[in-house]
Structure 1
Amino acid sequence: MPTCADRPETPRSDRSDRSDSRPGMLLALALAVLGYQLNATMLSPALPDVMRRLHTTSGLVGLSQTLFFLFAAVGQVTLARLSDYRGRKPMMLLGCFLVIAGDIACAAAPDIGVFLVGRVLQGFSAALFTLAFLTLDDTLSAKGFGRAAGIITAVNGGFAGVDAVFGGRLADTVGFRGIFLAGLVVSVGGTLAVYRTVPATPPTATGRMDWRGTSLLAVGLTGVLIGLAQGESWGWLSVPTGVCVLGGLASLVAFAPAGRGTGDAVIDTKLLVSRRAWPLLATTVLTLAGAFGALTLTVPLFTQDPQAGYGMSATHSALLFATPAQAIGVIGAPLAGILGPRIGWRRSVVLGSAGSLIAFVVAVSFMTRQWIFAAALAVLGITYNGLSITALNGLAVLSSPDDQKGALPGLNGACFGIGASLGTALASALITVAAGGGAHGSGRYEPALWASCGLLAMAMVTTVAIKAVPKDAAQADGGRVTVPAIHG
């Protein structure tokens, strides 16, 4: 089991410039990531206000959310890999400008069409999170990378649930446009900070971007994610759903041979099928599918259901069952970043998966006991929001070959969106089936929650299959390693 030797060494002459801490750069990266993240967390309670002020339908407002997360997946893959050829800082600045343009478009939107364009621009900038990790990897030591990665993960989770409450308050007072103006201030500050403090490290790859492979992957992700997001409203067996999902899968199948035998591929197929990559990507999808769908859909519906659940208000439910895990995650993620280099990032992923599975089994087993249910979900602040999310992102960066640094992290970032969409779609379908079958009380939600446990159990299996960076690649200087191009 690797420890600090998990960390690969980039073969550049400026290696001696790496340090344990760069506070100014870390603050800049945190502001840049936060500028994007606020568009994901603050807007949710303001969606009814968007629908009312733009005189649109719930379907189109829902589409804005779908497009936001869809282009987040596409942006992760595209900008992360492009940064290998153009450098991290230029791509980060591009991401920051996309956020700013999206904030302005949404804040000034006269109709839903302009609003949708703004959400697409904001979504594409999700790559800022992955680019922040890659920048930390380029500039910090193993110890410094772990600590900083945990902080960035904590920031990416929002303000411990307070941001959602603040978003609702802004919607109730000045309207949804105030949310984007607040985000604009943060994004402008983050852009200036990135420009001034983030070093311009040289590209890590030569050649040119594989736009053919990128297009196939983007079309594949688009089809699958739209199919999963809209399947409930379109009908799971409907023609539009089938076209999206099957068409997307066909593009992903065509994408696989496109990257075979070429160093310029979005991600080398040999790397993709190695145990360094596919178990990691599968773990990310299954972890998000199991936890995200339950936490964002099943748990709120159950706790607010007056017949089958606790009959709480939305605010009471969020404060008791969502905010504790998010608040603990603000502490748990940095602790996970410190722990990762010490015990090994792969072991951190295993601990996070095992802890989340145990917490969910306890929660579902005692779902009618309100305080036990709440306490079990709060544990996810350490296991899921802390260990799993931090370690999955960190391991993706540290497992990438030196000439494809942005490939695996970008694809792993896209897998977060795939897993979240899959988990939400599955939970929604199971709740609908249970209600239609005449299930009473907590039985309406038990199948969805047990399905989450099943997905997390599958994640536990794929986690164990992840192969760590070989120990025998260790270098003499500080125990760091150069990651070989491919290993099985």
Structure 2
Amino acid sequence: MTRPRYDTAQATAGPESADRRSSVVALVVALLAACTAFQLNASMLSPVLVVMGRELHADQITVGLSQTAFYTGTAVFGLFLPRLSDIAGRRRVLLGMMTVMIAGEVLAALAPDMTVLIVARGIQGVTGAVVPICLMILRDEVRDPRRYGTLMGVVTAINGGIAGLDAILGGMLGSTFGFRSVFWLIAVVGVVAVVFCYRGVPESRPSRGVRLDWYGVLFLAGVVLLFQSAVNEMGKGRGADWTLIGALLAGGAVCGAVFWRIEGTVAQPLASPALLKRRATWATVGTTVLTLAGVIAAVNGIAMSIAQDSAAGFDLGADSASLLLLTPYALLGWIVAPFAGRLAPATGYRAILRIGLAGSVAGLVGLAVFGTRSLVFLVGATLLLGVVYAGMANIMLNGLGVVLSPPGNPGFLPGLNSAGFGLGAGLSFAILPAVQVAADVHGQGSRAGYTWALLVGAAIMALALLMSLLIPQPVEAETAD
């Protein structure tokens, strides 16, 4: 299945132009459907974890392992599937990922116990590469920088949540029909996505004839898996086994050393040492990790805890807190993202990113200083983060992973950056809650604990801003005027 590239600079009036516009619409609808299926796996399950535990007779620690399995799967699969799509075909890999995800949804919906459900959630993690592959497909087909930037914002905005409605719908379905209904719904969305992608996504294989470096994949996946496991263990706070954490980190370092050696010797490496040494690689991924580490738990954990804390917060119910904070946060990100993407080619991807990061620092400081004392400021600072992080920084980080990719290996940096999102989110939930507990002088929740956790988040975000200064300009993705 081959189609002409959707290059608006070469578009002409008349029927041909109309056909191009129709093809672009079909492409974007297909990519949105694929990204929606992935996002529902990430966001619809959180409100039904309690229901899941009750129906499968499992405690919440065991239920939480299902989420760990999913996010670990997204990190591992996200590493190499974008590169595999360069070689085997992006449309083929995208359809394969969605098909495997559907199988994972059916298995989860039929799961007789938590063991099967955890395996199913790990299988669903294959969708971790959906967003970077969709952006690579989009960039292949839309060559006008401004138009690509706008559509990049539209597609990537789904990654921040579907205007907050996904979590609400998940909670309603779980409460009314049980947790299995959520998996059946995601399976149906997955089937729709497969149909749209089959009909609307053209095939492309920029690295046709290249062999995937499976040994490199194995050891790099080992690095991510071991480091992610260490981060997950850190998230247990005072109950963490630091001997195990040390062993996991040491194992990850060994896998990293072996990976480096392999990549310096094989003829067709997953990522040559020269590629790994590029500022475009380590500065972009480093910024992603630090950004996620600073903000994710601040919004989804600390701010929500403040809203619901009856002693040191505002004593809201979980549903009210979500409607007041998370829904407008996601909705604002959804609205702002296409405009940020539109501005990026002219203003600069790095400029939009840095504005978003600086605004995120301000938002986190505002949460720490004023949001712990005033519900109005808590809501206002969270909404600011919806604009500057969800609508700007998050979009630019996804975009930079694609536009800074080297032509000879376009899938590696988006894959590594995708793993950076998962690692950063894990670090956020390991660090900020631990700081909150350590700074809680009364041991039952206090403003001091929340304040210090948010200030640490702001400090990490400031480091992300400094790291972003090292990201090189994506010259080919930006316009002169």
| C-alpha RMSD of the superposition | 2.2
| Among 162, 166, 180, the residue aligned to 1:163 | 166
| Among 326, 329, 332, the residue aligned to 2:330 | 326
Asked if residue 292 in structure 1 is aligned to residue 296 in structure 2, the reply is yes
Matches of residues 7-406 of structure 1 in structure 2 within 5 Å? 18-19=7-8, 22-141=24-143, 142-204=145-207, 206-233=209-236, 235-260=239-264, 264-367=268-371, 368-406=373-411
Cα distance in 2 for partners of 1:75, 1:232 equals 22
Q: What is the Cα deviation at residue 260 of structure 1?
A: 3.0
Equivalent residue of 1:126, what SS? helix
Read off the aligned partner of 1:347 and give its amino acid letter.
A
Moved more, 95-104 or 249-258: 249-258
Which runs of 5 or more structure 1 residues have no equivalent in the other structure?
Answer: 1-12, 481-488
Cα distance in 2 for partners of 1:40, 1:365 equals 31
**Aligned structure 1 segments of 4 or more residues deviating by more than 4 angstroms:** 13-17, 436-440
Equivalent residue of 2:311, what SS? coil
User: Which residue of the partner structure matches residue 425 of structure 1?
Assistant: 430
User: Which residue of the partner structure matches residue 4 of structure 1?
Assistant: none
User: Which residue of the partner structure matches residue 450 of structure 1?
Assistant: 455
Equivalent residue of 2:163, what SS? coil
Equivalent residue of 1:428, what SS? helix
Read off the aligned partner of 2:7 and give its amino acid letter.
R
Q: What is the Cα deviation at residue 268 of structure 1?
A: 2.5
Equivalent residue of 1:156, what SS? helix
Q: In structure 2, do the counterparts of structure 1 residues 346 and 204 end up closer, same or farther at CA, with 3 Å as the change threshold?
A: farther
Cα distance in 1 for partners of 2:164, 2:474 equals 36
Cα distance in 2 for partners of 1:436, 1:215 equals 45
Q: In structure 2, do the counterparts of structure 1 residues 440 and 47 end up closer, same or farther at CA, with 3 Å as the change threshold?
A: closer
Read off the aligned partner of 2:67 and give its amino acid letter.
Q
Read off the aligned partner of 2:436 and give its amino acid letter.
I
Asked if residue 460 in structure 1 is aligned to residue 465 in structure 2, the reply is yes
Cα distance in 1 for partners of 2:148, 2:111 equals 40
Q: What is the Cα deviation at residue 337 of structure 1?
A: 1.2
Cα distance in 2 for partners of 1:283, 1:305 equals 32
Q: What is the Cα deviation at residue 241 of structure 1?
A: 2.6
Read off the aligned partner of 1:53 and give its amino acid letter.
E
Check conservation: 1:30, 1:152, Cα contact below 8 A.
yes
Check conservation: 2:280, 2:404, Cα contact below 8 A.
yes
Identity of aligned residues (%): 34
> What is the aligned residue count?
464
Q: What is the Cα deviation at residue 362 of structure 1?
A: 2.1
Moved more, 48-57 or 445-454: 48-57
Check conservation: 2:226, 2:252, Cα contact below 8 A.
yes
Q: What is the Cα deviation at residue 255 of structure 1?
A: 2.2
Equivalent residue of 1:467, what SS? coil
Check conservation: 1:397, 1:409, Cα contact below 8 A.
yes
Cα distance in 2 for partners of 1:131, 1:362 equals 36
Q: What is the Cα deviation at residue 331 of structure 1?
A: 0.5
Which runs of 5 or more structure 2 residues have no equivalent in the other structure?
Answer: 10-20
Cα distance in 2 for partners of 1:67, 1:192 equals 27
Check conservation: 2:357, 2:465, Cα contact below 8 A.
yes
User: Which residue of the partner structure matches residue 415 of structure 2?
Assistant: 410
Read off the aligned partner of 1:132 and give its amino acid letter.
C
Tell me: higher relative CO, structure 1 or 2? Use CA pairs within 8 A at least 6 residues apart. Answer: 1
User: Which residue of the partner structure matches residue 12 of structure 2?
Assistant: none
Cα distance in 2 for partners of 1:323, 1:145 equals 27
Check conservation: 1:32, 1:96, Cα contact below 8 A.
yes
Cα distance in 1 for partners of 2:455, 2:188 equals 42
Cα distance in 1 for partners of 2:62, 2:253 equals 25
